[in-house]
Amino acid sequence: MSEPPAGVASGEANPAGSEKDHLETEPAALLRRELTRWRFENHEVIAPQLVGLLADSARFDDETAVALARRARQAYPLLDIWLARALAGRDSQEMRRILVILSEIAQSNRILASLTPVFRTKDNVVRSKAALLFARFCENPNFAEQFRKAGDRRVLANAIEGFWGSRSPGTRALMVAATEETDNRTMANAALGLHQLGDARGLAVLERMLGHGNEQYRASAAWAMGETGEKACLSLLASARDDPSDLVRRNVECSISTITG
């Protein structure tokens, strides 16, 4: 038998630091009631019920579900494993919710094996979210190669993002190769990844994209320049303030605001 820490099972407010009090009273109270009801149950009983509660999009929005999961993890540190193992056999909506939660609470590569089956689903949104999460923890840039070779653009873009900040061998080569793709998101994510590695080629790619004939490339470049935080990008962004595309102009103004603070 396993019991939650004192304060969780008793129904007392469980301090959550960054969570503060933004949870709605009803969802927070529901979680406390459920944890109290389960306090004498073993994990085999608790896990599917807690996962089912958090995966139910009809009950909570994503933000509330994530906040509840963070609180529940204080009582059940294996929650990320329970959620990852529950992905198999779930419908797309439930998988999407579980992946949203895992992206916020997972802290190690112990969930990777459970993510692998998700890549067989035909839902590109679900596969993309899984790719971002997998890449974050796998530390092997070769993981992204399968999507690059398959021309799986959306999933590749997210996989590239998952390697942001990675110092693993091969990450730079992956980013350089990805900047030569034809998908605007993939190129922008890769250019930003190169910049984070201190590689000047990243900003050079974004400058070229900002002059592209397709507005999607220009919009992605404008967004990514803001993410770099580099004041050197301000003159380039200023030159795009009169871009004929509303989307590009919005991204330009947001990025200028981001850089200038």
- Residue 145 within any structural domain of the chain: no
- Residue 59 within any structural domain of the chain: yes
- Residue 224 within any structural domain of the chain: no
Query: Comparing C-alpha atoms, which of 234, 179, 171, 159 is closest to residue 197?
Result: 171
> pLDDT for 9-23, tens place per residue?
333 344 444 443 444
**Token output for 230:** 């580099």
- Residue 113 within any structural domain of the chain: no
Query: Comparing C-alpha atoms, which of 222, 218, 201, 199 is closest to residue 209?
Result: 218
Say how far apart CA 97 and CA 88 lie, in whole Å.
13
**Token output for 203:** 């900003």
Check: CB of residue 105 under 8 Å from CB of residue 80.
yes
Domain count of the chain? 1
**Token output for 254:** 């947001």
Pick the more confident residue, 187 or 34: 187
- Beta-carbon neighbour count of residue 66 at 10 Å? 19
- Residue 83 within any structural domain of the chain: yes
- Residue 100 within any structural domain of the chain: yes
Residue 79, domain extent: 1-108
Helix axes 201-210, 215-228, angle to 10 degrees: 140
> pLDDT for 23-78, tens place per residue?
445 777 877 787 777 776 788 888 999 999 999 999 889 999 999 999 999 989 99
Query: Which of 133-142, 232-241, 243-252 has the least mean pLDDT?
Result: 133-142
- Residue 159 within any structural domain of the chain: no
How much is the pLDDT for 105?
96
Mean pLDDT of 77-81: 95
Model confidence at 182: pLDDT above 90: yes
- Residue 18 within any structural domain of the chain: yes
